Every structure is written in structure tokens, then in C-alpha cells.
Structure 1
Amino acid sequence: MLRNYIKIAWRNILNSIGYSILNVTGLAIGMCVTLLISFWVHHQYSFDKFLPEYQSVYRVQRNFNSNGDTLTFATTSLKLADALRTQIPEIQYVAESDWVRNHVLLVGTKKLYVNGTIAGTDIFKILQHPFVKGNADAAFKDAYSIVLTQSLAKSLFGNEDAAINKTVRFDNAHDLTVTGIIKDVPSNATFRFDYIVPSSYIYATNPQIKIDGLSSFSNNNLQILVKLKPGVSYEQVAPKIRNIEHIEKGNTNAMNSYVILQPMDRWHLYSNYINGKDTAGFLSYVKMFSIIGLLVLIIACINFINLTTARSDKRAKEVGVRKAVGSQKKQLIIQFLTESLLLTMIAFVFAFLFTLLLLPAFNTLTQSHISMPADNFYFWLVVIGCLFIITLFAGGRPAFHLSSFNPVKVLKGSFPTGHSSFSRKMLVIIQFSCSVALIISTIIIYRQIQYAKNRPSGYSLSRLMSTNMNDNLQKNFAVLKNELISKGIASSVSTATSPATDIWWHSDIDNWPGKNAAETVEMGTILVSEDYFKTVGMNMQEGRDFSNAADTTSVIFNEAAIKRLRLKNPVGQKITWQEKNYTIAGVVKDALMVSPFKPADPTMFFCVPEPQGNLLYKLSANKETHHSIVQLTEIFNKYAPAYPYEYAFSDQQYATKFNLEQLIGKLAALFAAFSIFISCLGLFGLAAYVAEQRRKEIGIRKVLGASVRQVWVLLSKDFLLLVLISCLIATPVSFYFLHNWLLNYDYRVSIGFSVFVLSALLALSITILTVSFQSIKAAIANPVKSLRTE
């Protein structure tokens, strides 16, 4: 019996090959989009969950009360790490960590800049990456040690066996012994690195760093990871760590700040803090695209339903005859569901192939490393379940609709079509409402990105370059700066503790005029060399720039910092920072150093005579960039021959701040195009069906003198009306969701009425193009042939 069902289903598919192709194409594209989104969503949810005991791992954060608003900072101090390690017995391991950044590794003639970090000795007991060679207990017993990933070990030594116990010169300063090799850190890890050096190495080679770090809770330039003991919950630890900084200070009344922990499984998706609590940051986009994937699949299923029920009159006599010769309704339902399942399976085969072809491009677009889990049993189990669900959803209504026909009425040529016609119209409205909403979303996202891009940044990043400093460059900074300027390569040169497009350090101000009792203010802190503001193109609002490298008792604030401190006539007033007094020399205009979508961060700048970690240099305007880079390479290789010359353009670094929004915009545009295309496939099929149904009517009208335009209007007006209704429905729905999305940005575009008009015109234009082919084809057909056809 099943074989017979399949044979008949296959025959019916071939007999209606045109409609079958439309059905399969729509379903295949819908499934392909859903597969791609499903893989991406699963990848986002899998972040950090590959590590053993990840449920016990937390990141330390600090909340600050700022004029009633709670601000959250990930930067922490070495003193806080020491307090958590010694005073909280419920915490099993604590590891302070520098931020992941480039350091140079030298092995023989090989010299590579590689991303890695410097972390506490217990880091691998917290992040339990599997060791290929060595183990977590012995890896960092020696301060002069390093742990590499497999890929890095192969790059430096050929393979992991050759790397173990060999030496690597770190930043051309000291030789470190390779004491461990771990598997490559997966792409779905929040904390990614290619090697780790123990923090004991830094303390051994520069003891002052540890002395300074342990001297104050205000030296916040690290991140801290902790692992709780088995059976200990965060709720047990939270009250003990909340005020640990103030208890250490001996001031239990100072409650302006407190310490919190964020669980590892929330690091990636819950990155947005509002009033001290982590909320759905990236998770909101993951949910949004999950809904979009489901909507695209539903749109494809609606095509199937519409095209199948629209052709019900073609199958009506078949149903009548089958019922007349004794077929039961159940058998007819099984027959139509078998046909639906066969079409669905064919569509999935094409969807699978499309996904394989598109996955590399999709990975490039989303900067992911997603692979097709074809060897995963659970993947196929889910696929089979989804195929049956899609079969029931897409084929269920046509099956029950067609099998319910009265055989007597059908064989007499009379069967109801009004209800199914109304249902088809409703489904078309749902289809295009979703598609128009996606078009509106794409336009708003694009406008929001452009709005932020056109926002004045507050500094000049054009032709500004940066290079990480090393010991050789620091020793030769004065002659390097002089040579760059004297040869006309750079117009100005400076250094800073942060790149021009970020703030790496936050610290507290001890005292300032008008400070309230127990008030704490933390702000961005940047140590700079002279000519810093000239190099990055920041302008003074009032007061003066640093006079020279010896101007070490002055401080310069940006406008946001002055506002935060509530200072009137700030120039000349005194503040205290790290127990030293400073005079406010000037106020610089705000620059968007962190986010182009938010207000400028309150920031203070201190001039120091020693060169800092980021070398900033402004290329001269009268030289070609590529010629300058050739000269720069020669000069940097002369002063730091052990280091490869690497550089970055600050305007490109600033552009990366739009990466997330641009990704969301590209994905929204891509899926909007897919949904519109699928909807148009259905519209194309329905238009062909309507034209075929009204063939004789059109022939009569043409004989009576109807023009091509009149016939076109006759066949197109109903579809245009449905799409117009869809636009009216999509407008308030999309406005509601987009308005809430824009509230995430302090600097945002307004949603104008023109966006909805433009989206409606675009949807109507696409509809006209889709329907016109069938309408014009029917309008120019020979009416004699139409009227002769029985």
C-alpha cells in the first residue's frame, strides 16, 4: 500500500511539474535559511560550554553607583584578586589575567606576533582546556614557563612533541620553557588565546608591578576569573564578596561600589549591563534571528499550502472518483500527506546541498567556524522530526481540505471555493507582512549604522597609525620619534597606555573640589607622552595642553569627566589621584574612544616622561601611504630588529566598532531578500493559477475590446491590495520592535514615516514585477484559443 501511495504521489508531482518546482524551490530556500540560522544560533548558545565544570566558573565585575545609575566595569585590581584568594574560602581558584594582546615569540629565526595573555598560575584549573603535553598542576610551577596551543606549537617547532621543554624568547626579553601544550581553543570560546605566560613571570622580572598592584583597589587594569568549590553556589558567595574592597579599606560605610560575579555561561550572550545586572546583549540578536529563521520557513510552508489548495479544482474530480469507488477519507489524507512528504524530502535534499555550498560564505559573513554536523546522530534525528512537522504543517491543510470534498457535488462540477480563496488571501497577507517587516528592519538598521558613522568622533583618525611598543622601541623612543619627524614620514608622534580607539584602564579619583562624603568616581585613565592630543587630533576646549614631557603634575580631563565631577571653572583646580596632587591644566573635547553609539566616557589624561605601551604616529599628508610604510619598516627594523614590524590604522580600528551592527544589517537584508523571493514564488504560482482559471473570461473580454492594460489591472489588483494590507499590518508591528531595539543606543536615529512609505513602495514594485509576467502573458494570449478550449 505504501509503495502505491509513493508511486501515485510521484506521478502527481511529475504531472504538475511547474507547480512542483515552485513548491520545492520555496521549501528548499526556506529550509536552507533555517538550517544556516539554526547552526549559527546553536554555535552562539554553545559558547564556553565545552569546558569541564564551566558552571562553577565566574568572571569578577565591579558595580559603581554614579549619581543613581549603576555602572559595571570588568577591569579589576590585583589587590582584589589577592583578597578573593585569601579571604573567601568558598572560592577554590582565583586567576588574575591581562587582556589578550599581541606579544612577540622568537624561536631561532622565526619571530611571530601572536595573541596571548599573562595570567595567574591557576588559570588552567579554572579554564580546563585539555592538555596534549604536560598538565595543569605542573605547567606554571616555574615562573619562566609558557603553555602553547597545538597550532602555535606546530608553527614554532613543527609539532607538539618537538615543542615540549624547548625555549621560546618572549618579547625578546627572557627565554621561557614550554611546559605544556593544550588543544586549540575552539572558536566558541569567549576567552581565546594562543598561549599563556604565568603572571609570576611578570612579578619575577618586574617586582614593582606586584607592589603597585597590591597597594590599592584603584589600580584596575586586570580581569579576574574564579572557580567556586564543588557544591558552593553564587548565592552563598555573593554577600561575602559584595563589600570586600571596603572592608579591606576599613570603611564599611563606603557603599558606592560592590563586587559581583558573572557566570561563564552568560559571558557571551549577556554582555549588556543595565543598572548593575547583566541583560540580554548579543542574546537579543540570537533570538531575533531565531524568529526570522522560523518565519522564513513558515513563509515557505505558506507557499506550499496556497499553491496546493489553489489547484484543488484540478484534483477535485480525482477525489470524487476515488471516493465514489470506495476510498476512505483516511486513505485520501495519507495519499496527500505522502505527496507532501515526498516534496518535503526532495526540498530538503536541495536545501542540504544549498547549505553546503553557502556555509563557507556564511562563515565569512558571520566570522564563524560553523561546520555541517552530518556525522551527528542527533542532528539527523532533529532533521527527521522537523521534516515530519513541516509535512504536517505544509501538507496537512491541503490534505484535509481536498479529502473533505463531497463526491456527488464534485462529480457534478460543483464544490466550494470561497473559504479556501479567503484562506489563501490571509496566508498571502501573513507572508508579505513578515517580508515587509524585514525590509523595514533592514532600512532602519542601515540608517542607524550610517547615523553613528556620520557622528563627529571628536578626533582625527585619518592617517593615524599605531604599533605596540617593545623594550627596544621604548629605549630608542626619542631617536625614533626624531627620525620619523625629521624625515617627513610623520607629522607628530606620541605614546599612550591605550590605543586611540579604546580605554584600557579605569581608576578612582581620591579627591576633587565638591566631592560628597563617601562618593566614589571611577573613570578612564590614560597615561600619555607629550604631543598626544596633537597626534590623535583632539582639540582643547579650555586651558592648555601638556607643556612638555616633564609636565607630570598636571591633569587634563575631557568634557564628560568635568560634567561627572560637577566642576565649574575647572582649569587651575586641584585633584588627588593615587595619593598625589595634580592641577587641572585643561579640558579636551569629548572623543568617542569606546563606542560610537554611546556618550563619550569620562576620561583623565596624565603626562609621564616614560614612553607607554602604544606608539601613535600621524603620517604626513604629503606622502603616499605605501611609500611611508616602506620607510617605516626599515626604521622600525633598525631600532627593533628582533621584532617584526606590525601596525594598525586607527580609522580601521574605529570601523570595527560597527562590526556587530553591520553583521545584523547584512543578515537582515539577506533574510529579507530570501523571504521576499519565496513570497514572490508563491505569488507567481497564484498569478498563473488565477490567469489559467479566468482564461475564458479574459478571452471574452478581449473579444469585446478589453485592452492589455485593462486585463493587467483585472488580474493584478487583488494581489496589490493584499500586499498593501500587508504593509499596513507590518508598519505598526515593525515600529514597535524597532523602537525597542533602538532604545539600546544612546545615540540613535528616529523612525520616520518615509521608511514605511519606501518599504511599501518597494514591496508593491516587487509584486507588480512578479504578477505582471503572468498578467501580461494572459492579456496578450490569442482569445480564439482560449474560447475553443473545453
Structure 2
Amino acid sequence: MFRNYVVIAFRNLWKHKLFSIINVVGLASGIMVCLLALIDIKGAFDYGNFHPNPERTYRILTDVTSGENQVVAFASTPMPLAGVLKRDYGFVEQTARVIRTYAEFTVDRKMLQESYCAVDPAFFTVLGYKLASGQPATEPHTAVLTPQTAEKFFGRSNPVGKTIHHKEFGMITVTGVFKPLPIRSHLRFDLALSMATLSAENRKQQTDWKQYVAGYTYVALKKSTSVELLEKALPAIAARATKNLRFRSEKGYTFRAQPLTALSPSHETLQMGTWEQTWGKLATEMSVGLVTLLLAVFNYVNLTLARSLSRAREVGIRKVSGAVRWQLMAQFMAESVVLSVLALGVAYLLLLLIEPMPFVQQWLIGGVQLNGTMWAVFVGFSITAGLLAGFVPARVLSGFRPAQVLRSQTGLKVFKGITLRKSLIVAQFSIALIAMIALLSMARQQNYMATADYGFRSENMLNIPLNGVPYQRLANELNRVSGVELVSASSERFGHHDGDYGRIRRQRSGGDSIAAFMFAVDQNFVANMDLTLLAGENLPEMTADTSGDDSPGRFILVNEEAVKAFRFGNPREVVGQSLWLNDSTEVQIAGVLKDFRFTTFNWAIKPLVLRYQPKEFRFLNVKIATGAEASALAAIQRIWKRLNPYEPFAAQWYTDFLYERHSHEDDVNFMSLLTGLAFSIACLGLLGMVTYTTETRIKEVGIRKVMGAEVRQIIWLLSWDFVKLLLIAGAIAIPLGYLAGMAFLINFAYHVSIGFETLGGCIGLLLGLGGLTIGVRTYRAALSNPADSLRSE
């Protein structure tokens, strides 16, 4: 019997090819999004599956109690905790500490900014990171590189035994190379540095119990040891450590153990968290997939019921021949399952098409291997979706009465009312329109950040990473190039999050302090970037001797926000005032700059300090005359090859840097794909509704045409009910879409507005797509020959 169901299902699907293609594509779109979510969920459980003994390895968390008695969980801990656990508790087999940060490393004048982890010797055994060659980094000034970092630094040659340089740590010897790191790991880094390499200032953190954000602590218990021993010991350690501590705003903290097996998916959002997945992210992804699939299921219901008139007589004959209702339901649901399995195949092909997209690789399926279990889940999910999609049509179609359908197919009503189906259409278009408004708001904000006026010159400005080349030598060479108008130097590029962050005081000890961004610049920077001095003077010209009290490094420029933060009042009153940087360096304010946006638009303008520090310069900012861009760029490339032949020329126009930094095209493209799928599915659902209605009213259309009705009148008659559905969907989606867009924009201190250009454009697209779908079908119905529809009369 089952074989007959499948054979008949294939015959019916082949007979109605257009109906089948529409349903397969619709279901495939929804299933594809669900497959992405299922793959990412599997990947979330794959995190850390390479660690040895994960069942007895734990990461220690710190629960910090604020002054308002709020408890905030941190993934990090004070560094002395590991030593106490290893020394005083016999049930602890090993402990490992990890400190992660970014730094610049230099190899043969090649300078690269890499993420690194400072690790204890036990890191390699507790967490089980394997080496492809060499030895672990256990001695001072040693490191192990990832394969990618080794290739960037040394090409294809063997890096073991070679050295890299860090301005603070000095020369570092490479002792080994990791095997390729698992993508699904909560720790991501480019090299692992031995903990003994850290400077004296960093070593202070290793004995400071107040620094609970310093790094991460991992504990491996001995075999057959109950975790309850560790859980009892941790609060006691925290109580002893904090007994005599005085925090600035916190009341205290305590520790707890997190099993390595429970690291991902995470049930809570941790401060100083690592790369593990959270249940919230997975639930959001699966919800998006299920909503998309639900829209496709609505379509299947609508299109199947729209075709019910052609199946009514089949049902009547089968019932007269002795078929019972459950057999008819089984037949229709078998068709639905076959359709869903076909949709799974199409969904997998769609998945292969979008798999190379950077967003998909980075956030969804990167590093996840599909196995037999996953394919069983996919097939089971597809069959379940088919059964759910086919239940309502099977229930309705199997309920037809033979006497009614065999007497006359015309005038048959599937439902006495179609309010439910109209509601489905409204829901489909409302969801699609809300997604489109939110997406357009995001795209406009990202384009705004990529192209807006930041308050400094970016047009015709070329940023050149120095990568070890002396900035003054390169600047002197570039100043002789035709078309180069001015050259300046800086430690960072404006327009993103980078920059040193420090504290400034009016007195060396005590008194008010503010946090400020600090950039190193030369005396040409203000003029080159077209910044405005409100009071005072620019940084003084550099001299041969910059070591005295009047050296340029003693003077700073601040912005208006820094003046406001210190409550100075008038900017002129600030000039000449002394400040202390990081409690150790006394500087004098030379001038005050007009506020400009030197960070991203996520933040309001922050206090800013510009200071002459040649050792910190990392970029040259080259202003090029309009019309001379090509010739000047070619000349600059020749100079670079002469001065630094082993380092690629990595200059970038400032406008291109801002656009690439803020446009996020990959994210927008992926979200546009999802929104396009939602709209396509909604239009297919509308097509099913229009098809059903026009077929049930075909005799009415014939009579009206005989009575003299024009084609445009018939089109309006058939279309108005559906246009009302689109207008209702628009009325529902506009306020909800506005709220969804503002929920995103509120994260930015400076953002676009959601006005007519956003809402009007989305409504216009809704009416355009919906109107086209309605118009094509109703136009065909209006052109039908009345003789065909009235022949039976």
C-alpha cells in the first residue's frame, strides 16, 4: 500500500509540474534556513570536543557583586587562584592560566598585529592543543605559532628555532607549530606565548586578587575526584582572598566551577566571555528558520486547497469505490512527504550555493562536518515538516462528500469562510515587511557610517602602514613626490575602535580623573586632517633634541569633550594647564580641538588626547592633490619598494578603509537573502489564494462578461479583496517594523532616522510585488472565454 501511495504521489506531482515546482522551491527555502540553524546547533555542541578529559576539567568563573547588589558573572578570574588550587588542594591534578590580548610582532621588518595567549606550561596538556612540530613554549621568551601565523611570518620555511620581536618583550624564539586549530573552539589565537615572558607590569597581575578580569583559569581534577570538593573549596578561597581587599565599586566576588563539557552552548552571558555559542543565539537562529518554514507550510496549504477543485472528483470516485477517510488522508500526506523530501534535496543544493558566503562561514557552519547522524536528522526533519504541511489539506480534501463532488465541481467551497487563509496571507506579508524594514534600516545605518562626514579629511587621503620603516625617512621621500601636498604620522587611523585608552588626572594623586583615547601624532597631523583649533596652538615643531622638559612630547592637544569632562569651562582657560597621564607623566595642554568623530558611530564623542610620540607612529597619512592620484600612487609604490623590498605595499585610501570597516556587506547580503526568501514565499502564498478565489468565481466572471463587464472592471473586482489584505499587512508591519529598526539603531550614538524613505520604499515594494502577483492571475481570469465557464449551464 505504501508503495502505491508513493507512486500515485509522484504521478500527481508530475502531472501538475508548476504546482509542484512552486511548492518544492517554497519548502526548500524554509528547510534550507532550518538546516543552517541545525548545523550551527550541532557545531555548538562540538566546541571543545578535542580537549582531553573534559569530564574532569573545569573553567573557573567569578561572580562579582556590585554596589547595587547585582551579581555579574565573569569568565575570567584573578591570576593567583591557579597557584592556590594547585598548591593547597590535593584533589587538583593540574591548573593552567590563559591571558589573551593583541600585540604587534615583527619579523624581518615585517610587522603584523596578532592575537596571542600567554599560557602556563600545563596549558598544552590540560586543554590538549597538539603540536605539528617542535616543543611547547615553557621557557621565558618562547612561543608556539599556529600554521597560519607561521606562514605569514616565515613563508614555507620551518619556523622552529627562528625569532620574532615584540617591542615590550624583546626577542621571542619559536619552539613549535600547532596542528591546525579547531574552528569550533572557545579559545582563538594566532600564537601562544609562555607566561614567563610577560613583563614585570603584567606579572603584578599574577599576584593581584583585585584583578578578576586578568585572564582565565582551568583546573583538571584527579581521577575519581568528585567536583563537590572543588565547589566547596572555591567560595572559601574567595572569602580569604577578598577579606582585606577594598574595591572601588564592587562589594566582592566568589568563584564557581564550569565544566568544560558545559562550556557550549552557554546558558548565561558571561563578561569577558570567549567564543562559545549561547543558547539565545541558537534559539534565535532556529526561530528564524522555523518562521521561514512556517511561511512555506502556509503556502503549501493554500496552494493545495487552491487545487482542491481538480482533486474533488478524484476523492468522490475513491470514496464510492470503498476508500475510507484515513486511506485518503494517507494518500495526500504521502504526496506532501514526497514533496518535502524533494525540497530537502533542493535545500541542500541551495545550501551549497550560499556556503561560500563569508557570513555563513564565519557565524553558522564554519568547521562543522556533516555525518550520518546529521543526515538522519535532516531527513527526519524534512519528513516531519511534510507531515505537518500535509495534515490540513489532507483533512479537508478527504472530507468531501461523494454526492456533492460527483454532481458538480463548480461552486464547491473548501471552507465556508476563508478568514483563516486570509489571516495567513496577512501574517506572511507582515513578517516579510517587518524583516525588510529592519534590514533596510540596518543597511542605511551601515552605509551612513561608511560614507558620513566624520569631521576629519578622508578624501584623497592615503594611509600607509609603516611596518618598521622609519617614519621620518619615508615622509621625507614622499614630500618630494609630485602631487603629494602634505604628509603626517599617527599611531592609529580614525574612524574605528582602535586607540590607546588611559586615565587623565588634574593632580598626580587624588582628585578627579577621566578616561580618554590617546593617539600619537606629529605636528602636521592637525592641518593634514583638516581639524579645527578652537584655542591655543598646534603641537610644537619637533627638534633634534626631544628629551628635555620643553620637548614636543610634553605638550598635548585635547578635544572639547575632554574640556567638558574636567569641567574647565571656556576652552581658552584650558590652554597651559597641566595634566597627568596614567598617574606618571605630566603634560601641558597646548590647544583645544573642535570635537570630531574619531571612533565609530556606536559611541558618542569621547575625550581625546593627541600627543607627539614618534615611537608609537604606525601610519603615514598622505594628502594627494585632486587629479594626481594615479601618478602619485605609482611613485609612492616605487619608493616603498626601494625602502622596504620585502614587505608588500599595503596602502589604502581613507574612504575605502571607512567603507570596508562599516559597510558589512557580507552580513547585509545574507540578511537580504533571508528577506528575499520571506517575500518570495509570501508571494507564492498570495498566488495560491488568488488562484483558489478566481477558480471558485470563474462562473461569476463569465456571467459578468456576458452582461458587458470590461476586463479592467473584472480585474478590480477580483483584486480588491487581496489589495485590502496587503494594506492590512502594511498597517500591521509599519509600527512593528519601526520598533524592530529602532531596536537596532538605538545601539548607535549617531544613527539614521526611520522615515518615509524607509517605510515608503518598503510599502511600495510590498504593493508592487503583491500587485504584480494578483494582477497576473486576475488578468488571466478576466480574459477567459465565458463560453468555457458557462458551457455546463
Verify: 1:484 aligned to 2:482, yes or no: no
Which residue in the other structure is 1:564 paired with? Answer: 565
User: So what's the TM-score if we normalise by structure 2?
Assistant: 0.80
- Are the structure 2 counterparts of residues 416 and 758 from structure 1 closer, same or farther at C-alpha, using a change threshold of 3 Å? same
CA displacement, residues 516-554 of structure 1 (integer Å, 9 cap, x when unaligned): 86x553322333333333344432232222113322322
Which residue in the other structure is 2:223 paired with? Answer: none
* Total equivalences in the alignment: 751
Q: Report how far residue 773 of structure 1 moved.
A: 1.6
Matched position secondary structure for 2:145: strand
Verify: 1:499 aligned to 2:497, yes or no: no
Q: Report how far residue 587 of structure 1 moved.
A: 2.0
Query: 8 Å contact 2:59–2:219 — kept in the other structure?
Result: no
- Specify which of 101, 120, 123 is matched with residue 122 of structure 1: 120
Q: For structure 1, which segment, 2-11 or 294-303, has the greater mean C-alpha deviation from structure 2 after superposition?
A: 2-11
Query: 8 Å contact 2:702–2:787 — kept in the other structure?
Result: yes
Verify: 1:382 aligned to 2:377, yes or no: yes
Taking the TM superposition and a 5 Å limit, the aligned residue runs for 1:86-165 are 92-99=95-102, 101=104, 103-105=105-107, 116-117=114-115, 119-122=117-120, 125=123, 128=127, 130-133=129-132, 138-143=135-140, 145-151=142-148, 153=150, 163=158, 165=160
* Identity of matched residues, %: 24
Q: For structure 1, which segment, 124-133 or 773-782, has the greater mean C-alpha deviation from structure 2 after superposition?
A: 124-133
- Are the structure 2 counterparts of residues 149 and 234 from structure 1 closer, same or farther at C-alpha, using a change threshold of 3 Å? farther
Q: Report how far residue 156 of structure 1 moved.
A: 7.5
Query: 8 Å contact 1:490–1:618 — kept in the other structure?
Result: yes
Verify: 1:27 aligned to 2:31, yes or no: no
1: CA distance, partners of 2:626 / 2:4: 81
AA at the equivalent of 2:736 = V
Which residue in the other structure is 1:654 paired with? Answer: 658
1: CA distance, partners of 2:730 / 2:20: 29
Which residue in the other structure is 1:437 paired with? Answer: 434
AA at the equivalent of 2:8 = I
Which residue in the other structure is 2:556 paired with? Answer: 555
Taking the TM superposition and a 5 Å limit, the aligned residue runs for 1:30-429 are 30-36=30-36, 38-39=38-39, 56-57=58-59, 92-99=95-102, 101=104, 103-105=105-107, 116-117=114-115, 119-122=117-120, 125=123, 128=127, 130-133=129-132, 138-143=135-140, 145-151=142-148, 153=150, 163=158, 165-168=160-163, 170=165, 177-188=173-184, 192-198=188-194, 210=200, 224-230=214-220, 236=234, 240=238, 247=245, 252=246, 254-255=248-249, 289-360=285-356, 362-363=357-358, 370=365, 375-413=370-408, 416-419=413-416, 421-429=418-426
- Specify which of 744, 748, 757 is matched with residue 741 of structure 1: 744
- Specify which of 439, 443, 446 is matched with residue 449 of structure 1: 446
Query: 8 Å contact 1:22–1:682 — kept in the other structure?
Result: no
CA RMSD of aligned residues (A): 4.7
2: CA distance, partners of 1:558 / 1:284: 40
Q: Report how far residue 19 of structure 1 moved.
A: 1.9
Query: 8 Å contact 1:492–1:535 — kept in the other structure?
Result: yes
Structure 2 portions without partners, runs of 5+: 89-93, 221-226, 543-550
Q: Report how far residue 713 of structure 1 moved.
A: 1.0
2: CA distance, partners of 1:590 / 1:455: 15
AA at the equivalent of 2:378 = V
1: CA distance, partners of 2:413 / 2:773: 28
Structure 1 portions without partners, runs of 5+: 204-208
- Are the structure 2 counterparts of residues 656 and 482 from structure 1 closer, same or farther at C-alpha, using a change threshold of 3 Å? same
2: CA distance, partners of 1:580 / 1:704: 95
Matched position secondary structure for 2:767: helix
Which residue in the other structure is 1:630 paired with? Answer: 634
1: CA distance, partners of 2:721 / 2:759: 21
2: CA distance, partners of 1:299 / 1:253: 54
2: CA distance, partners of 1:624 / 1:750: 37
2: CA distance, partners of 1:3 / 1:548: 90
Q: Report how far residue 460 of structure 1 moved.
A: 1.7
AA at the equivalent of 1:669 = S
2: CA distance, partners of 1:324 / 1:149: 73
Which residue in the other structure is 2:456 paired with? Answer: 459
Which residue in the other structure is 1:206 paired with? Answer: none
Taking the TM superposition and a 5 Å limit, the aligned residue runs for 1:508-587 are 508-512=503-507, 520-549=513-542, 550-568=551-569, 569-577=573-581, 578-587=583-592
Query: 8 Å contact 2:79–2:214 — kept in the other structure?
Result: no
2: CA distance, partners of 1:401 / 1:611: 79
Q: For structure 1, which segment, 253-262 or 126-135, has the greater mean C-alpha deviation from structure 2 after superposition?
A: 253-262
2: CA distance, partners of 1:371 / 1:211: 38
CA displacement, residues 602-640 of structure 1 (integer Å, 9 cap, x when unaligned): 2223323x4324122223225633433333333334444
AA at the equivalent of 2:219 = K
2: CA distance, partners of 1:442 / 1:177: 49
Q: Report how far residue 37 of structure 1 moved.
A: 5.2
- Specify which of 722, 726, 730 is matched with residue 727 of structure 1: 730
2: CA distance, partners of 1:620 / 1:354: 46
Which residue in the other structure is 2:608 paired with? Answer: 603
Q: Report how far residue 11 of structure 1 moved.
A: 2.5
